[in-house]
Structure 1
């Protein structure tokens, strides 16, 4: 097996695990408050993560940080993102919530231009605009009738808010990568998220039954395993090669939604998702082209 192929398979497995996590949240989301789900998800992510860091001999390195406050704010943004995404998963069909979440990489392009001062030219701005139009198509059935207080409308708004906050978290992560290891970023996010989510305990937490507890624990374990698989995938293949595989989540989500919940996405969701995915792939393609161009320019500028 070639190294790029190994990277692609690991990335596919990671996306599959993340979709399975979403399916579990969809299953238990109406019975367990979102804050409680976030707490279990964050805490039990630490278990496989620590085991992996110990196996890699990076445990001591991962626990060292130069920017504890940066991790705190990344955790704060991330926990609110998870809260809204999990709320959306509880109130919407799985494929629809997944399709709305695809707005995140498009919004992160805009945030990178605003907050990281990255140069984004007209081509990518156009792709972002087209992708966001696709998001509006997905949202239209929930808001077109003017009833913004329905359960589905609240779920759609929660999913979109989660995507916006996730894009903000991406910007914070990119800042942290200048000085922090991947292990530190993932570990402190899980730690801070657990502690912050615990603060929601007085606000309606429930005592779940055994089956629900197992599902809650599984969300954390799946999240940790998915994070490890994703990190490992980037060791074998370029990020630009692996990025399109994120969009396979819509395939897994549609299949899982039909098998587990008998959900079939409507035509507006399918059309909107196709537009969003297409725009996202254009952004990925453009960034890959720019990356290759910068590499050639650096090589040309390097003296023999």
Structure 2
């Protein structure tokens, strides 16, 4: 029988695959459908799937305090900003490049938690974060190889960091499923309103298939990320979140004939390496 840690690692890998396959489906849609329309239609299906899952698990409730609703509202703002910036970058950049930039998230969140929430951060992790930012510079390549769309990916990192700092303020009694479905609803409504100002594209068979697959994959990503919290050691499973970059490299090559240049690959390796080191130091600090 597989150990709990093996199951947790497999679920984390599956979660990253779900999110990355969703990204690939959305990138396919970028050729035929406006961003606002694609996110709105995907959101409708995602909301239904999350609601069914929440009812099945019995982990949704909405009788929360005003403080919790205010924090959930702030988190939804961060979620909408992150969705817009990330997908805008994805629609115009290779999927592996965008995913590589997002690998800096654990470093940025650790730095922001230290700066704004007074969470401890030793000099070793600070040094690793500095090295990680050098890796990001190699990925975005300021200068001749720079793309303005990289700024959208970096903005997505800022919005996700804000979102995750807000989550740390939520009460442990607030169900994660409630938070997730409210984020999905806010994104769907927000992009639905925005889509009124754009010309909708006809939804043919390919578009409908991609939208359905995107909603299904993002649902799987969330489902597996919830399940991974319930088995094994999360510190053991956490490094497997970087498998998302491997999925992005494979999908970029197979579906879009994209492959990052050498500097991007070196930068991605630096970011992943420093992220793994930071996770190792956090685990060691937690033991102490």
TM-score by shorter chain over 0.5: yes
The residue number in structure 2 matching 1:191 is: 185
Distance change (3 Å), C-alpha of 1:205 and 1:4: farther
Alpha-carbon distance change, 126 to 231 in structure 1, aligned in 2, over 3 angstroms: same
| Maintained 8 Å contact 1:137/1:269 | yes
Q: What is the deviation of 1:99?
A: 0.3
Show the counterpart of 1:299.
none
Q: In the alignment, which of 237, 241, 256 is matched to residue 242 of structure 1?
A: 237
For residues 9-158 of structure 1, the aligned pairs below 5 Å read: 9-59=10-60, 61=61, 63-66=62-65, 67-140=68-141, 143-145=142-144, 153-158=147-152
What RMSD, in angstroms, separates the aligned Cα atoms of the two structures?
1.7
Q: Which moved more, 1:87-96 or 1:272-281?
A: 87-96
Contact 1:64 1:184 in 2 (8 A): no
Contact (CA 8 Å) 1:41, 1:221: kept in 2 or not? no
With over 3 angstroms needed to count, the CA separation of the structure-2 counterparts of 1:154 and 1:213, relative to structure 1, is farther
Question: 2:59·2:175 contact (CA, 8 Å) conserved in 1?
Answer: no
8 A Cα contact 1:87 1:158, kept in partner? yes
Higher mean alpha-carbon deviation, 255-264 vs 46-55, is at 46-55
State the Cα deviation string for residues 132-160 of structure 1 (Å, max 9, x = none): 110001111xx312x86xxxx12211111
Report 1 or 2 for greater relative contact order, CA contacts < 8 Å, sequence distance ≥ 6: 2
Deviation beyond 4 Å, 4+ runs, structure 1:
none
The CA distance in 2 between the partners of 1:209 and 1:250, in whole Å, is 30
CA distance, structure 1, for counterparts of residue 273 and residue 202 of structure 2: 41
TM-aligned CA deviation for residue 38 of structure 1: 2.7
Give the unaligned 5+ runs of structure 1.
Answer: 294-304
Q: Number of paired residues? A: 284
Cα distance between partner residues in 1 of 2:240 and 2:41: 27
1:70-116 deviation line (CA, Å, top 9, x unaligned) = 11111111111011100111111111111011122211112111222
Supply the distance in 1 between the matched residues of 2:198 and 2:148 (Cα, whole angstroms).
Answer: 19
Give the TM-score of the pair, scaled to structure 1: 0.88
**Structure 2 Cα separation of the partners of residues 164 and 82 of structure 1:** 12
Q: Which residue of 1 aligns with 2:211?
A: 216
TM-score normalised by length of structure 2: 0.93
Partner residue of 2:227? 232
CA distance change for structure 1 residues 243 and 167 in 2, over 3 Å: closer, same or farther? Answer: same
Alpha-carbon deviation of 1:42? 3.1
Which residue pairs with 2:256 in the alignment?
Answer: 261
- CA gap 1:220/1:205 in 2 versus in 1, 3 angstroms: farther
Q: Give the one of 173, 177, 180 matched to 2:167.
A: 173
Tell me how far apart the structure 2 counterparts of residues 208 and 98 of structure 1 sit (CA, whole Å): 29
Note the C-alpha offset of 1:239: 2.0
Partner of 1:297: none
Q: Does the CA-based 8 Å contact 1:41-1:223 persist in structure 2?
A: no
Describe the shift of the 1:242–1:131 C-alpha distance in structure 2 as closer, same or farther (beyond 3 A): same
String of CA shifts for 1:222-269, please: whole Å, max 9, x gaps: 112210111101111222111111111111111111111111111011
Q: Cα deviations across residues 151-191 of structure 1 (Å, max 9, x unaligned)?
A: xx122111111112111111111212444111111111112
Structure 2's unaligned 5+ residue stretches are none
